[in-house]
Structure 1
Amino acid sequence: ERLFWLTCDDMQRQWFAHTLADRGLRWEQARTHLEKEFGNPFYVWQKKDEHRHLAQRPDESIYLFLERYQEVSYEANLASDQDLVYHYGHRPH
């Protein structure tokens, strides 16, 4: 469990801190969530597709949309500023 952090890069640590930390999960629950999300070899591809089709919901504030956009961006491995600007600017609106 403590060695887990040594296997993560900066993006993975951010995702873990944002998604699983401080939720009162036991290690077994967190591990199950990690296996479900990242055990699928097509996970990043699916998240990139979700990212391409992500749109603001009619009842969603810009703040909540950007928070959701950033979360999917991290999961799609598109965390660099240049990638985010490119993908946001070249999306159908």
Structure 2
Amino acid sequence: MSHLPERRTSALSAVNYPRSTARIQRAVQHDVAVEQGRAIVAAARTQAVEYVGHSALRAVEGLTEMEAQALQRTPLGDARYKAIVDTATSALARIVAETGRD
């Protein structure tokens, strides 16, 4: 008699098992698809930040080189060159930071 409740539970589980399995498979597939989607978005954000950072570094490199050339040609413009390049590089840094937050 002690085995009767256990057998009844097993029988009921066996009856509902195919439906439960399909439901579980759909839930797992959905969760996996959501996680894969999140991973793709994260990878795209990483690539965007890398691209913007690379572009900003190249721009700063060019501005710094132009500043050095201008300083050699006209040393009296030193403060103005620095102000222009510093302002531009600050703006580039903000763009990179904003890209990283999105």
Query: TM class, shorter-chain normalised?
Result: under 0.3
User: Which structure: greater helix fraction?
Assistant: 2
> TM-score, length-normalised on structure 2?
0.23
Determine which structure has more spread, i.e. the larger CA radius of gyration: 2
